Amino acid sequence: MNAKIKRTPAEVANGQLQMVVDLDERGSFKAHVETEDGKEIFAFSNEDENGWPEPLWLVENGFMDHARDCDGLLEYLQSLGVVAAGSSLTVSG
């Protein structure tokens, strides 16, 4: 599992969020979620600690249907308390 939450629980993001795909090639996938003002709040990847691709844990554990599933990722981040209810998430890249 490779993910990092970039905000404290007291800093709940809301409004229009964007999932930015940083890498999607040769089996590797990396992305991050940022706020309207460009602050990164969550980053995830399917690479193990050695950089080798493996199944994306968010999909394997049923949180997302596929790597670019904005609805699933938004629900997951809301369940963690990182994103406020009523926020929206779109994908870029």
Single-letter code of the amino acid located at 87? S
- What is the distance in angstroms between the CA of the first residue and the CA of the last residue of the chain? 22
Domain extents for the chain? 2-92
Question: Which pTM was predicted?
Answer: 0.86
CATH number of 2-92: 3.30.420
The string of pLDDT tens digits covering residues 8-58 is 444 567 789 999 999 999 999 999 999 998 999 999 999 998 989 999 999
Looking at residue 15, what is its pLDDT?
Answer: 87
- Strand-pairing partners, residue 89, are 17
